[in-house]
Structure 1
Amino acid sequence: MNVRVVSTKIIKPVHDHNSPQPIARSITSITLSAFDRVSEDMHIAAIYAFRPPAPSNSAVATGLARVLSHYPEWAGWLGHDENNNPAILLNDKGVKLTEASVDSTFDEAVPLDLSPVHLSLQPSKHGIEELLQVQLTRFACGALVVGYTMHHRVADGHAASQFLVAWGRACRGLEVHRHSSLDRCSLFSPRNPPHVDFEHRGVEFASEEFARCLDYSFKGKIITYKAHFTKEFLKKLKSQATSGAPPRRSYTTVESLVAHLWRAVTIARGLDKNDTTNVRISVNGRTRLRRNVPDDYFGNLILWAYPRTTVKELVSRPLHYVAELIHRAVADVDERYFKSFVDFASSGAVEAEGLVPAPEPKGRDMCRNLDVDSWIRFPLYELDFGGGSPFYFMPSYVPVEGLVNFLPSLVGDGRIEVHVSLFDHNVAAFQQLCYSLDADTRNYGYNHNWDQVDKVKEMARL
């Protein structure tokens, strides 16, 4: 696909009578909260596609300028406040907007499955100071692709979705209401006296020496496989997971599907039965700190659960065993855990011990583990710039083996689309496992002896 850049410009906030101008201009910086500081120091990216007649580039840019007056964070830079704390500087440096074109039609040029081709439809994430970038790409058929990169320390997925919907409203000339304050840290003050009830070293924080010594080696080409799970399949999977569960326990669809995919990926990888494996699952603090934090809080408010077990336990026990591991690990990241994290992050131990946010092997091999991101509850398809909802959404291509991304169905029929990144030599075995409900009891030895599992592991190595 040949993407031709037409122009590049900077979009700055434009204040009108509905803008929170006095508030924004009285604040020169927003100090990052402890949750912001442990989020990934990187840009996240995605693309939306809209069928013609799509709004003009000028209309999209005008709406962006309007919405930036309500979300001035995106027009700033990362830096330090007057107390030398990490902060977002509200300097109105602006957002980089690139206009581009493609001579072919969208259907001819854009692959259905996630691939490196998609990178040309979004701005580069490297060597930039802008916290938000936008690329508007017009196709010969009239389709418009809106690609963006957003710095993760400004907002998590929940907050970023809130901004995108507001941007669409601004483009349509509708009012934009932001209820959340620009002040982040006042909501997360440490308790007096503090109570660090949980271990946060090695979880959210690690030593700089440990971070430098991490070494993940590639084992082959990484393929992102897109799996589609129907509402009927998910209902049966959830029923299977709940069968044999503790009394009055009913696992969610996501818990059941994560359990199923964790086992399928593990067998496809051909891991040794004595290996330990875990799943990294994001937990939204808005549901944990509901009494103190509004649902529309803008910033990062995510910690992580890490259910773990041995490979042998994972693939030889019933599905409800795995679902229970996931359920308990997520439930344990509760209000007490979030408050303990705030107390630890504010205690001075991080600075005194030279701790840094625990690194994730982005762009490398997750080894025996999985990193699951669920975007199912995000209003992905409510973005409307004036020409209707998108017909296509795709997260950025990130070559991380072991990355799993959950997306809701575009048509809203209860289906779930899952992008699973694996080494190419493991994809065939994974395909045989991921759509099979019978695999749990017959084909793959989940409830039988280990010799049967070894046969599948051998197939995964072929």
Structure 2
Amino acid sequence: MTSSSTLTVTKSPPALIPPAGPTPRGTLSLSSIDKTVAGSGFVCLIQVFSPPSLSAARRDLGAAAAVAAMRDGFARALVPYYPVAGRIAPSGLAVDCTGEGIWFVEAAASCVLADVDGLECCPLPIPQQLLLPRPPPGEKLDGLIFMVQATRFTCGGFAVGIIFRHAVFDGQGAAQFLTAVGELARGLKAPSVAPVWDRDTIPDAPSPLPGQVTEFRLVTQVADISAESIARVKDEFKQASAASTGEVCSTFDAVTAIVFKCRTLALASALPDDDAEVRVAFAVSTRRLLRGVLPIPTVEGYYGNCVFLACVARTGKAVREAALAEVVGAVREAKEAVPARFAGWMRGVEQYDVPPLDYSTVTLSDWSRLGFDEVDYGFGAPGYVSPLNDHNNFIVQLHYVRPPPPRRGGVRVVLRCVEEPHAAAFAVELAKFA
């Protein structure tokens, strides 16, 4: 690995990419679901692309052409996705369609990807701020919706750092936009999925009450849950439910049960007593539940927020002593309650409950199937995608991502959900499922 003291990343000045053609002007309201996540601010992630198959003589020319094609893809995608080229209104509740464009940064690293372990290790050998775009001085972050940085490594590989505003996209919506960029960068005449705004068709349901925010000193960790461990937990659940319901569980159910129990065991010394509550909250996609709200032909192209929060809450003692099959059952119960709860919220008869954002609550997002790892800007799909959230110390959180080859089949968990006193114990518990 190259020493961080000798590694450099040289950035070009940020440049605006405006839409490639005329776009509508005006103001578009965000939906009530968008507004529930507006306080989450920005989402940061990185896509890592291994060196393209270019000859040494053509590598520089190929890299320059690839970045130029990517820029063109963004410019063309901003025509149908014209709200993304605008700015968040001062109220924070709408988008002003100004057509200004998105900020794009080109950068060059002084090493090959292999020198930094393919950016798969934790902590990153490159500070994340060097891999993420920043607007020029004087540009207000509050109004921005999307920014991109393409960093080229000397081997010909790329890291694409992305920052997007959560109030405008959920993860699936942002991946849909990036897929369109890739399609247009590769020469398609139009995105395969036509984008749909339609935020005003979603009922103006009540927003969640703001919770108390606490700053933590969270440690970043990465754990790989093996396919064998996932299969074992699935089998335990299947056997436990055979006499009653005969149900089977998903990979998400199994991994969530593993992580929730491991974290609860690691936090045993931090809980005031056995009856203290611990919680795992997770976002459930509600796109299929919007089929009665949005016109059916447009549901596929809707790129706004379509998530509802599910939560499992138990005493610390109950989680520590429960078999994993029981914890899986609790996760499934919380998931299965979402359709009725979401329908009640849409009718205005149920509050969007947000659990206490304290150290006893871990919030997770499943990125393993959103589509970020299938985006092709013209140099193949990324070998690895990961959130970059070392700056966030206010939400105890974790993300599921697809592990890089050759560990495909399992699930990688990117964690910022314990402080230093509990990090070692948490790692020991998770290692049992590697």
Fold-level similarity (TM above 0.5): yes
Shift in Å, 1:205: 1.2
Query: CA 1:243–1:119 in 2, change beyond 3 Å: closer, same or farther?
Result: farther
- Cα gap change, 1:358/1:324 in structure 2, threshold over 3 Å: closer, same or farther? closer
Structure 2 CA distance, aligned partners of 1:300 and 1:32?
9
The alignment partner of 2:245 has SS state of coil
Q: Does 1:288 align with 2:294?
A: no
Mapping of residues 193-272 of structure 1, within 5 Å: 205-206=208-209, 211=211, 214=212, 216=214, 218=216, 221-245=217-241, 246-270=244-268, 271=271, 272=273
State the match for 1:397 in structure 2: 389
Q: What is aligned with 1:368?
A: 360
Superposed CA RMSD in Å reads 2.8
The alpha-carbon deviation at position 118 of structure 1 amounts to: 2.4
The AA in structure 1 aligned to 2:30 is: L
Amino acid in the other structure paired with 1:264? C
**Structure 2 equivalent of residue 344 of structure 1:** 348
Provide structure 2 residue ranges, at least 5 long, that are not aligned to the other structure: 1-6, 55-62
Q: Secondary structure at the match of 1:47?
A: strand
Tell me how far 1:45 sits from its aligned partner: 1.1
SS in 1 for 2:290: coil
**8 Å Cα contact 2:309-2:354 kept in structure 1:** no
Shift of 1:309: 0.7
> Structure 1 length normalisation: TM-score?
0.78
**Aligned equivalent of 2:59:** none
1:406 Cα deviation after fit: 0.4
The residue identity in structure 2 corresponding to 1:56 is: A
Is 1:331–2:336 an aligned residue pair? yes
- Which of residues 376, 389, 403 in structure 2 aligns to 1:384? 376
| Alpha-carbon distance between aligned partners in 2 of 1:103 and 1:437, rounded to the nearest angstrom | 37
Determine if the alignment matches structure 1 residue 183 to structure 2 residue 191.
Answer: no
- Between the aligned partners of 1:242 and 1:40, the Cα distance in structure 2 is 39
Question: 408-417 vs 86-95, which deviates more?
Answer: 408-417
Q: 1:129-179 CA distances to partner (integer Å, 9 max, x unpaired)? A: 321111121222222221110000111001111111111111101131443
Whether 1:11 and 2:26 are equivalent positions in the alignment is no
Equivalent residue number for residue 450 of structure 1: none
Distance 2:260 2:331 in 1: 10
2:376 aligns to what SS in structure 1?
coil
How far is 1:394 from its partner?
A: 2.0
Q: CA deviation at 1:395?
A: 1.1
SS at match of 2:77: helix
Could you tell me how far 1:257 is from its partner in structure 2?
A: 1.3
Determine the structure 2 residue equivalent to 1:298.
Answer: 303
Instruction: Give the total of aligned pairs.
Output: 395
Report the alpha carbon displacement of residue 95 of structure 1 after superposing the two structures with TM.
Answer: 0.3
* Percent identity of equivalent pairs: 23
Q: Distance in 1 between matches of 2:379 and 2:356?
A: 38
* Cα shift at 1:357: 9.6
Partner Cα distance (2:355, 2:334) in 1: 20
Structure 1 counterpart of 2:325, one-letter code: H
TM-score by length of 2: 0.83
1:40-439 correspondence runs (5 A): 40-41=38-39, 42-50=41-49, 51-52=51-52, 53=54, 54=63, 55-79=65-89, 86-109=93-116, 111-115=119-123, 117-124=127-134, 127-128=140-141, 129-175=143-189, 176-186=191-201, 188-189=202-203, 205-206=208-209, 211=211, 214=212, 216=214, 218=216, 221-245=217-241, 246-270=244-268, 271=271, 272-293=273-294, 294-334=299-339, 336-344=340-348, 366-398=358-390, 399-400=392-393, 402-411=396-405, 413-421=408-416, 422-436=418-432
Whole-angstrom CA distance in 2 between matches of 1:307 and 1:385: 39
Distance 2:316 2:353 in 1: 28
CA apart distance, 1:358: 5.5
Counterpart of 1:182, as a letter, is W
